Protein backbone atom coordinates (compact mmCIF):
# COMPACT_ATOMS: atom_id res chain seq x y z
CA UNK A 1 0.00 0.00 0.00
CA UNK A 2 2.85 2.34 0.84
CA UNK A 3 4.61 1.61 -2.48
CA UNK A 4 1.44 2.21 -4.52
CA UNK A 5 0.82 5.50 -2.67
CA UNK A 6 4.40 6.65 -3.37
CA UNK A 7 4.10 5.73 -7.05
CA UNK A 8 0.83 7.62 -7.45
CA UNK A 9 2.35 10.65 -5.70
CA UNK A 10 5.43 10.62 -7.96
CA UNK A 11 3.22 10.30 -11.06
CA UNK A 12 1.18 13.33 -10.04
CA UNK A 13 4.38 15.30 -9.38
CA UNK A 14 5.72 14.39 -12.84
CA UNK A 15 2.49 15.53 -14.49
CA UNK A 16 2.63 18.85 -12.64
CA UNK A 17 6.28 19.35 -13.66
CA UNK A 18 5.43 18.68 -17.32
CA UNK A 19 2.61 21.25 -17.15
CA UNK A 20 4.93 23.82 -15.57
CA UNK A 21 7.67 23.21 -18.17
CA UNK A 22 5.20 23.54 -21.05
CA UNK A 23 4.00 26.93 -19.78
CA UNK A 24 7.36 28.44 -18.79
CA UNK A 25 7.57 30.73 -21.80
CA UNK A 26 4.11 32.11 -20.98
CA UNK A 27 4.78 32.79 -17.29
CA UNK A 28 8.13 34.51 -17.82
CA UNK A 29 8.17 38.29 -17.88
CA UNK A 30 9.97 38.29 -21.25
CA UNK A 31 8.51 36.29 -24.13
CA UNK A 32 10.37 33.01 -24.91
CA UNK A 33 7.86 31.27 -27.16
CA UNK A 34 7.58 30.91 -30.97
CA UNK A 35 8.23 34.24 -32.69
CA UNK A 36 6.68 33.69 -36.11
CA UNK A 37 3.32 33.22 -34.37
CA UNK A 38 3.60 36.71 -32.87
CA UNK A 39 4.57 38.24 -36.23
CA UNK A 40 1.53 36.66 -37.90
CA UNK A 41 -0.72 37.81 -35.07
CA UNK A 42 0.48 41.40 -35.36
CA UNK A 43 0.51 41.18 -39.19
CA UNK A 44 4.11 42.39 -39.40
CA UNK A 45 5.95 40.37 -42.02
CA UNK A 46 9.23 42.29 -42.23
CA UNK A 47 9.17 45.17 -39.75
CA UNK A 48 9.99 43.49 -36.40
CA UNK A 49 13.66 42.94 -37.24
CA UNK A 50 14.74 43.30 -33.63
CA UNK A 51 12.43 40.46 -32.59
CA UNK A 52 13.47 37.90 -35.23
CA UNK A 53 15.38 37.82 -38.51
CA UNK A 54 12.92 35.33 -40.04
CA UNK A 55 10.15 36.28 -42.45
CA UNK A 56 6.79 34.54 -42.73
CA UNK A 57 5.10 33.90 -46.08
CA UNK A 58 1.65 33.32 -44.60
CA UNK A 59 -0.48 36.40 -44.11
CA UNK A 60 -3.19 34.92 -41.89
CA UNK A 61 -2.93 34.68 -38.13
CA UNK A 62 -1.78 31.47 -36.48
CA UNK A 63 -4.37 29.06 -35.06
CA UNK A 64 -7.72 27.69 -36.20
CA UNK A 65 -9.25 31.11 -36.88
CA UNK A 66 -6.62 31.98 -39.44
CA UNK A 67 -5.98 28.55 -40.94
CA UNK A 68 -5.75 28.00 -44.69
CA UNK A 69 -8.64 26.32 -46.54
CA UNK A 70 -8.15 24.93 -50.08
CA UNK A 71 -10.10 26.41 -52.98
CA UNK A 72 -12.19 23.27 -53.47
CA UNK A 73 -13.88 23.75 -50.10
CA UNK A 74 -15.28 27.19 -50.84
CA UNK A 75 -18.90 25.97 -50.87
CA UNK A 76 -18.60 24.69 -47.29
CA UNK A 77 -17.99 28.17 -45.96
CA UNK A 78 -20.75 30.08 -44.27
CA UNK A 79 -21.87 33.36 -45.83
CA UNK A 80 -19.64 36.22 -44.77
CA UNK A 81 -20.95 38.43 -42.01
CA UNK A 82 -20.38 42.17 -42.14
CA UNK A 83 -17.11 43.05 -40.47
CA UNK A 84 -17.28 44.58 -37.05
CA UNK A 85 -15.68 47.91 -36.41
CA UNK A 86 -12.25 47.36 -34.84
CA UNK A 87 -12.23 48.86 -31.33
CA UNK A 88 -9.69 51.59 -30.58
CA UNK A 89 -8.33 49.66 -27.62
CA UNK A 90 -7.33 46.78 -29.89
CA UNK A 91 -5.47 49.10 -32.29
CA UNK A 92 -3.58 50.73 -29.41
CA UNK A 93 -2.78 47.36 -27.86
CA UNK A 94 -1.36 46.06 -31.15
CA UNK A 95 0.91 49.10 -31.52
CA UNK A 96 2.11 48.65 -27.94
CA UNK A 97 2.80 44.96 -28.54
CA UNK A 98 4.84 45.78 -31.65
CA UNK A 99 7.03 48.08 -29.61
CA UNK A 100 7.39 45.66 -26.70
CA UNK A 101 8.21 42.59 -28.78
CA UNK A 102 10.60 44.38 -31.13
CA UNK A 103 12.75 45.90 -28.37
CA UNK A 104 12.38 42.88 -26.08
CA UNK A 105 11.31 44.84 -23.00
CA UNK A 106 8.94 43.80 -20.26
CA UNK A 107 5.72 45.61 -19.42
CA UNK A 108 7.23 47.23 -16.33
CA UNK A 109 10.28 48.39 -18.30
CA UNK A 110 8.07 49.91 -20.99
CA UNK A 111 6.02 51.80 -18.37
CA UNK A 112 9.28 53.09 -16.89
CA UNK A 113 10.42 54.32 -20.33
CA UNK A 114 7.06 56.04 -20.91
CA UNK A 115 7.48 57.89 -17.59
CA UNK A 116 10.98 59.00 -18.65
CA UNK A 117 9.64 60.20 -22.01
CA UNK A 118 6.85 62.22 -20.34
CA UNK A 119 9.32 64.04 -18.11
CA UNK A 120 11.57 65.09 -21.00
CA UNK A 121 10.86 68.00 -23.33
CA UNK A 122 9.32 67.39 -26.74
CA UNK A 123 6.81 64.94 -28.15
CA UNK A 124 6.27 62.03 -25.74
CA UNK A 125 6.04 59.47 -28.56
CA UNK A 126 9.29 60.54 -30.21
CA UNK A 127 11.09 60.74 -26.87
CA UNK A 128 9.90 57.21 -26.04
CA UNK A 129 11.38 55.91 -29.29
CA UNK A 130 14.64 57.75 -28.58
CA UNK A 131 14.87 56.19 -25.11
CA UNK A 132 14.34 52.70 -26.54
CA UNK A 133 16.74 53.27 -29.43
CA UNK A 134 19.53 54.40 -27.08
CA UNK A 135 19.43 51.16 -25.08
CA UNK A 136 22.71 49.26 -25.33
CA UNK A 137 21.17 46.03 -26.66
CA UNK A 138 19.47 47.98 -29.46
CA UNK A 139 22.69 49.89 -30.28
CA UNK A 140 24.63 46.61 -30.63
CA UNK A 141 21.88 45.27 -32.91
CA UNK A 142 21.68 48.43 -35.06
CA UNK A 143 25.47 48.44 -35.45
CA UNK A 144 25.13 45.02 -37.09
CA UNK A 145 27.05 43.11 -34.41
CA UNK A 146 24.11 40.78 -33.63
CA UNK A 147 21.28 39.28 -35.73
CA UNK A 148 18.53 40.24 -33.25
CA UNK A 149 18.12 42.21 -30.04
CA UNK A 150 17.87 39.02 -27.88
CA UNK A 151 21.21 37.91 -29.38
CA UNK A 152 22.69 41.34 -28.58
CA UNK A 153 21.35 41.04 -25.02
CA UNK A 154 23.14 37.71 -24.64
CA UNK A 155 26.43 39.22 -25.85
CA UNK A 156 26.11 42.01 -23.29
CA UNK A 157 25.06 39.85 -20.34
CA UNK A 158 28.02 37.49 -20.97
CA UNK A 159 30.41 40.43 -20.73
CA UNK A 160 31.55 40.64 -24.38
CA UNK A 161 30.59 44.31 -24.96
CA UNK A 162 32.53 47.39 -23.84
CA UNK A 163 31.22 50.96 -23.63
CA UNK A 164 34.02 53.55 -23.61
CA UNK A 165 36.49 50.66 -22.97
CA UNK A 166 34.57 49.56 -19.85
CA UNK A 167 32.69 46.30 -19.54
CA UNK A 168 28.90 46.73 -19.28
CA UNK A 169 26.70 43.73 -18.52
CA UNK A 170 23.34 45.56 -18.36
CA UNK A 171 21.38 45.35 -21.66
CA UNK A 172 19.12 48.26 -20.64
CA UNK A 173 22.12 50.59 -20.16
CA UNK A 174 21.28 53.96 -21.71
CA UNK A 175 23.97 55.11 -24.13
CA UNK A 176 24.78 58.75 -24.81
CA UNK A 177 25.98 60.57 -27.93
CA UNK A 178 29.77 60.32 -28.54
CA UNK A 179 29.92 56.96 -26.73
CA UNK A 180 31.80 54.21 -28.54
CA UNK A 181 30.84 50.56 -28.29
CA UNK A 182 33.38 47.79 -28.89
CA UNK A 183 33.79 44.02 -28.53
CA UNK A 184 36.21 42.32 -26.15
CA UNK A 185 39.55 41.03 -27.43
CA UNK A 186 38.57 37.35 -27.02
CA UNK A 187 39.48 35.56 -30.26
CA UNK A 188 36.58 33.11 -30.08
CA UNK A 189 33.96 35.87 -29.94
CA UNK A 190 35.68 37.94 -32.61
CA UNK A 191 35.91 35.04 -35.08
CA UNK A 192 32.19 34.32 -34.59
CA UNK A 193 31.32 37.96 -35.26
CA UNK A 194 33.59 38.13 -38.34
CA UNK A 195 31.89 35.08 -39.88
CA UNK A 196 28.47 36.56 -39.07
CA UNK A 197 29.39 39.87 -40.74
CA UNK A 198 30.67 38.05 -43.85
CA UNK A 199 27.37 36.19 -44.21
CA UNK A 200 25.48 39.44 -43.74
CA UNK A 201 27.46 41.14 -46.51
CA UNK A 202 26.78 38.28 -48.92
CA UNK A 203 23.04 38.49 -48.26
CA UNK A 204 23.14 42.31 -48.46
CA UNK A 205 20.85 42.58 -45.44
CA UNK A 206 22.84 45.10 -43.45
CA UNK A 207 22.15 48.80 -43.08
CA UNK A 208 23.74 51.13 -40.55
CA UNK A 209 21.54 54.14 -39.66
CA UNK A 210 23.12 57.58 -40.12
CA UNK A 211 23.30 58.37 -36.39
CA UNK A 212 25.80 55.50 -35.95
CA UNK A 213 29.29 54.81 -37.34
CA UNK A 214 30.73 51.29 -37.39
CA UNK A 215 34.15 49.84 -38.23
CA UNK A 216 33.66 46.17 -39.09
CA UNK A 217 37.38 45.34 -39.06
CA UNK A 218 37.95 46.62 -35.54
CA UNK A 219 34.38 45.82 -34.36
CA UNK A 220 33.89 49.32 -32.96
CA UNK A 221 30.85 51.57 -33.28
CA UNK A 222 30.36 55.24 -32.39
CA UNK A 223 27.08 56.99 -31.56
CA UNK A 224 27.14 60.32 -33.41
CA UNK A 225 23.84 61.71 -32.16
CA UNK A 226 20.35 60.83 -30.99
CA UNK A 227 18.32 58.90 -33.57
CA UNK A 228 15.96 60.80 -35.85
CA UNK A 229 12.34 59.61 -36.17
CA UNK A 230 12.91 58.58 -39.81
CA UNK A 231 15.61 56.06 -38.87
CA UNK A 232 13.78 54.23 -36.07
CA UNK A 233 13.90 50.46 -36.55
CA UNK A 234 10.13 49.86 -36.23
CA UNK A 235 7.18 51.04 -38.31
CA UNK A 236 4.45 52.03 -35.88
CA UNK A 237 2.31 54.91 -34.63
CA UNK A 238 3.94 55.89 -31.35
CA UNK A 239 1.08 58.26 -30.47
CA UNK A 240 -1.24 55.25 -30.02
CA UNK A 241 1.25 53.73 -27.56
CA UNK A 242 1.23 56.94 -25.52
CA UNK A 243 -2.59 56.95 -25.59
CA UNK A 244 -2.60 53.33 -24.38
CA UNK A 245 -0.53 54.29 -21.32
CA UNK A 246 -2.26 57.63 -20.70
CA UNK A 247 -4.44 56.20 -17.91
CA UNK A 248 -1.85 53.83 -16.46
CA UNK A 249 1.01 56.33 -16.17
CA distance 43 to 26: 21
Question: For residue 29, what pLDDT is reported?
Answer: 67
List, run by run, the mean pLDDT of 10-residue segments along the chain (249 residues).
46 46 47 68 65 63 57 55 79 88 88 90 90 93 88 92 93 93 89 83 74 89 91 85 85
pLDDT in tens, 102-125: 888 888 899 999 999 998 888 899
At the fourth CATH level, the homologous superfamily of domain 90-231 is: RNA-binding S4 domain (3.10.290.10)
What's the longest Cα–Cα distance across the chain? Answer: 74
CA distance 224 to 213: 7
Question: For residue 183, what pLDDT is reported?
Answer: 92
CA distance 126 to 112: 15
> Burial of 168 by CB count in 10 Å (0-12 exposed, 13-18 middle, 19+ buried)?
middle
What Rg do the C-alpha atoms of the chain give, in angstroms? 22
Question: Where are the chain's structural domains?
Answer: 90-231
Q: CB pairs under 8 A, 24+ apart, for 187-194?
A: 189/155, 189/160, 190/219, 193/145, 193/219
Amino acid sequence: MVISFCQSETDSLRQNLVKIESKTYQTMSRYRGPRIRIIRRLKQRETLRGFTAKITIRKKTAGEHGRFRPKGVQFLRKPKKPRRKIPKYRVRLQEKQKLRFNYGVTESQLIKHVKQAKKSKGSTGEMLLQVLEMRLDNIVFRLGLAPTIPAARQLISHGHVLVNSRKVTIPSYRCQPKDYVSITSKTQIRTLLYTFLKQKRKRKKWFCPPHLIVNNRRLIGVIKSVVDRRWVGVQLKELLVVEYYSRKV
